[in-house]
């Protein structure tokens, strides 16, 4: 098997792993001194984000754009309080710089409300799709990391990187 064939076969798996890491990657406790991050309306001082599926979609796309663009600190800012409590911003950045594939756009394919404070969004990167939960906290939509992500984050960056390398899901290993 040549390098191109191996790469072609591994690329979808690596893309799915990158999406999984995004859903799993979250970070530290929130700090009131930091500027709130949200969609464009809230970031511009326009008040609370709309508690609608469109508001959730806009916030989710912002998270995905930051993540795929390599702005891991900015993506971390858009996590729920529980996500931030699971991993520090510094560890989140270190983990993603080591294991995430940057530059591959993540696009929303659909979304729906689940009650009044949660939305489920489906995002696709290359051929892999995954669902994410957006939770409405403190007048803004935030990405709620999956249970698997929270467990990984609680290991800290060094151990989480080792776990991902062992599993073959660290894109840069």
| pTM of the predicted protein model | 0.75
Token pair belonging to 18 = 């990158």
Residue 7 has what pLDDT?
Answer: 38
Asked whether residue 23 carries a pLDDT value surpassing 90, the answer given is no
Q: How far apart, in whole angstroms, are the C-alpha atoms of residue 168 and residue 99?
A: 10
Nearest Cα neighbor of 169 from 131, 128, 121, 117 is 128
Asked whether the predicted pLDDT for residue 37 surpasses 50, the reply is no
Q: What angle do helix axes 53-68 and 3-24 make, rounded to 10 degrees? A: 130
């Amino acid at each position: 098997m040549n390098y191109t064939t191996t790469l072609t076969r591994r690329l979808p798996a690596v893309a799915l792993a990158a999406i999984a890491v995004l859903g799993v990657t979250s970070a530290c406790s929130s700090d009131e001194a930091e500027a709130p991050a949200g969609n464009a309306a809230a970031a511009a001082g326009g008040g609370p984000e709309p508690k609608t599926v469109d508001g959730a979609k806009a916030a989710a796309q912002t998270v995905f754009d930051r993540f795929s663009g390599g702005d891991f600190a900015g993506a971390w800012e858009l996590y729920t309080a529980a996500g931030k409590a699971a991993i520090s911003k510094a560890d989140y950045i270190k983990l993603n710089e080591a294991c995430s594939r940057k530059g591959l756009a993540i696009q929303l394919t659909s979304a729906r409300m689940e009650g009044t404070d949660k939305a489920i969004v489906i995002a696709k990167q290359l051929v892999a799709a995954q669902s994410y939960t957006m939770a409405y906290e403190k007048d803004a939509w935030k990405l709620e990391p999956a249970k698997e992500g929270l467990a990984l984050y609680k290991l800290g960056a060094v151990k989480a990187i080792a776990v991902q390398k062992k599993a073959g899901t660290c894109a840069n290993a």
